[in-house]
Chain A
Amino acid sequence: MNGRRFTTALTVIFAALWLAPLFFSILMSFRPEAEPISIGNIFFGSQITLENYQTVLTIAPWGLHYLNSVIFVVGVLIVQLFTVTLAGYAFARMQFPGRDFLLLIVLLQIMIPAAVLLVPNFATIRDLDLFNTHWALMLPYWGSAFGVLLIRQTFRGIPYELEEAARIDGATLFQVLRHVYIPLSIPAYLSFALVSISSHWNEFLWPFIITRSDEVRPLTVALNQLYQTSETGAQYSQLMAGTILVIAPLVVLFALFQRRFIESFASSGLK
């Protein structure tokens, strides 16, 4: 019993630690700009104000940036789902020469930091004449080594007999995927989608380097504007208001998704 109480206490402490940044971001965003946080004065300050949000809303066309972020994230995810399914199946179930070597190359991709590929990717996009377009944002992310590995492992865990049974009934490869593998791997797809969406929603460096106009730039690049007051000092209140605006959809999505995620996980376990 004591052990359990200890575990609970530890969980609460860690949860509080994780929540602290979000909590203080929200506090700061409603705090008057002229009142810095100081010792003994860390809450809302003298009053709660919406002024920071009003100021932040005037500095960029946020609607456009939201749209760009959604296009970017969804555009990447749709193609990724397609590529990781096919590649995952190939690596899990097909026999062909060089398979293990190819898998090793896919694995290597995880180990190369994205920054190293910045210059070659930039040159490629320029050669393809896609600079400063939505395509340029998405293209480098269409293959996902993490996704391929995740789906491969999931597919390998599905009894081969199910595929055989479908084949005997005359199913083609795509029908096997559609009716056997994919339905049984929904939890894996959901967790992959979650990771993909959040990482691309938060992606900064590539969108920043490859785009030059508001029509294409996602939220992170717009938010960057608020962070760059290096000379005069940080306007934390506005900074946090902007940050909350940018992360809000993700936080909401996560809260909704988490439930769905657990449900689907449970239901597939029953099958």
Chain B
Amino acid sequence: MLKQFARWLFLSLLLLAPTTFAQTEPIVIDFYYPTAVEGPITEAMQRYADDFMAANPGIVINPIYSGSYTQTRETILTEINADAVIVDVAVMLATDLYSFIENAPIVPVQDFIDPLENAEDYTADFFPAMLANSQDMEGVIWSLPFQRSTPLLYYNADLLREAGYEEAPQNNEELIEIAQALTTEDRAGFLLPVAGAFPIWLYQSFAAAYGQPLVDADPTQVYFNTPESLAAIEFMTKIGLSQAEGGFGVGPLGGSAWGDTPAAFTSGAAAMIYHTSGSLTQILKDAEFEVGVSFLPSGPAGDDGTGYGAPMGGGNLYLFNDGSKSEAELAAMWAWVMYLTSPEVQADWGALSGYIAVRQSAWELDPLKTLTEETPQYAIPRDQMAVAVKEFDAYRSIDIQNIINPALSRILSTDAPLSEAPAILEEAQAQIDALLAEYR
């Protein structure tokens, strides 16, 4: 009898257990973050998670290092295809917006910003250039900037001074003039890292500086076959062509490899380079000379001929909801996103990772404030935000990149002579338009 009673009690306890636990069970947020720069990233993420959890009992943040952006995308798409979406919040490329709108259950952060009391001020504190890739044509914000970067001109200030140049080149003509003055047998005057698979990022800076950015707000339009584009590509190609061949003769034919370029600069094999702001910390650490940093020199666009065109790059925070999430879970996800983009966290994250802090007010806070005072180079990418442009994104963006990158590489490497460039651009544009036709 007693035994039977005990069994009954045990069974009823088992049945009760899930409901009793449900009330106290914390909300778990699986947060995927890829890394693209060096540094103690994993440690920092865990610290942010711990701080957030201490302030928000009832929410558990589970930071998951998810490899590269590509690997993170594959992981998320595998989950979606297997109908088992685990990810709650993820850092993914800002330029994944339209492929996610099409293929992944993302929720626009606008839904969470709107109810905020200070919604307008809140949005305005993000650098507008960084939000350009977050907004669709109606202006709805889908993702919030988190780890953003932009290309910069790095120059060996000691070498420039020796050659009689006190300042960084302001425009493309000066860039070439100084580069030619600094080119020697074992030193490139200027390295443009466009060799290899992804010349599209830096190409965009030239296209915009020549007057026609690759994309605008319309995700069904890509402007590749334009006179400005042709002029930009011609300029880029000439950097690697010798003077005998009609070029500038300041760097290797076809440009340098992305990954090797910072080391070439710090070891003295190059006097000036284009590279991401994300490399600033490593370059400052490795270089044994005075490192100068400036805006990308301007091109001929605009009324006064000072067309700037540095594109944005890097990752944003996306929220995922496959339809199974409760209000409380969504609120917790948003709270975490808000925390990560808060001025306090951004001031820490920006100083630690080398990414550009995404909130303007973050730059008034330590440790970022002290860092920019002690090392003014860090303020340059922030200032360049005023003239930075939207990064390439559109519907079918990955397919389109796979058209544009090989087309650019063929011309830049001079596999095809410059005279064939118009035909290559025309063909690529036709392929792009064919892909986008159904979205228009």
Contact = CB atoms under 8 A, between A and B. Distances in A.
B75 A225 contact: no
A38 B267 contact: yes
A235 B75 contact: no
Interface residues of A, number: 31
A34 B269 contact: no
B86 A231 contact: no
Contacts of B74: 209
A36 B37 contact: no
B82 A122 contact: yes
A36 B267 contact: yes
Given A131-B86, A208-B67, A209-B78, A230 B42 contact: no
Interface in A82-135: 118-120, 122-123, 126, 131
A123 B83 contact: yes
B64 A118 contact: no
Interface stretch (B172-180, B255-263, B292-300, B335-343): B255-263
Contact of A232 (B42, B67, B262, B266): B262
Interface string B67-108: 111010011001101111010000000000000000000000
B266 A34 contact: yes
B291 to A, nearest CB: 13
Nearest to A58: B40
A212 interface: yes
Contact of B78 (A34, A119, A227, A234): A119
Contacts of B25: none
Contacts of A199: none
A229 B82 contact: no
Interface stretch (B2-10, B52-60, B274-282, B429-437): B274-282
Interface in A207-227: 208-209, 212-213, 224-225, 227
Interface in A171-214: 208-209, 212-213
A76 B259 CA distance: 37
Contact of A209 (B75, B262, B267): B75
Given A60-B42, A233-B260, A228 B67 contact: yes
B50 interface: no
Interface string A1-42: 000000000000000000000000000000001111010000
A60 B30 CA distance: 20
A78 interface: no
A59 interface: yes
B264 A36 contact: yes
Nearest to B64: A212
Contact of A36 (B65, B71, B258, B263): B263
A234 B261 CA distance: 10
A126 B82 CA distance: 9
A38 B37 contact: no
Given A122-B84, A228-B34, A59 B276 contact: no
Nearest to B30: A212
Nearest to B258: A233
B62 interface: yes
B286 interface: yes
Contacts of A59: 40, 42
B267 A233 contact: no
Contact of A230 (B30, B36, B78, B354): B36
B37 A232 contact: yes
Contact of B82 (A38, A58, A123): A123
Interface in A227-247: 227-235, 238
A229 B36 contact: yes
A233 B78 contact: no
Contacts of A209: 74-75, 78
A212 B86 contact: yes
A33 B267 contact: no
Contacts of B258: 233
Contact of A228 (B35, B261, B269, B278): B35
A21 B37 CA distance: 25
A38 B269 contact: yes
B82 A232 contact: no
A242 B275 CA distance: 26
Interface in B285-330: 285-286, 313-314
A231 B37 contact: yes
A232 B276 contact: yes
A232 B36 contact: yes
B149 interface: yes
A89 B258 CA distance: 54
A123, A213, A228, A234: which has the most chain B beta carbons within 10 Å?
A: A228
Contact of B68 (A213, A228, A232, A235): A228
Interface string B146-157: 000100000000
Contacts of B65: 225
Given A122-B79, A126-B82, A232-B36, A36 B260 contact: yes
A38 B369 CA distance: 38
B29 to A, nearest CB: 12
B78 A232 contact: no
Q: Could you say which of B78, B86, B286 has the most chain A C-beta atoms within 10 Å of its C-beta?
A: B78
B160 to A, nearest CB: 21
Contacts of B86: 131, 212
Contact of A231 (B75, B79, B82, B278): B278
Contacts of A232: 36-38, 262, 275-276, 278-279, 282, 354
A64 to B, nearest CB: 13
A173 B71 CA distance: 48
A233 B83 contact: no
B78 A122 contact: yes
Contacts of B62: 212-213
A213 B64 contact: yes
Nearest to B276: A231
A235 B79 CA distance: 31
Interface of B: 30, 34-38, 40, 42, 62, 64-65, 67-69, 71, 74-75, 78-79, 81-84, 86, 149, 258-264, 266-267, 269, 275-276, 278-279, 282, 285-286, 313-314, 354
5 contacts: A36-B260, A123-B84, A209-B78, A224-B67, A228-B67
The 6 closest A-B pairs by CB, nearest first: A231-B36, A36-B263, A123-B82, A233-B259, A234-B259, A126-B84
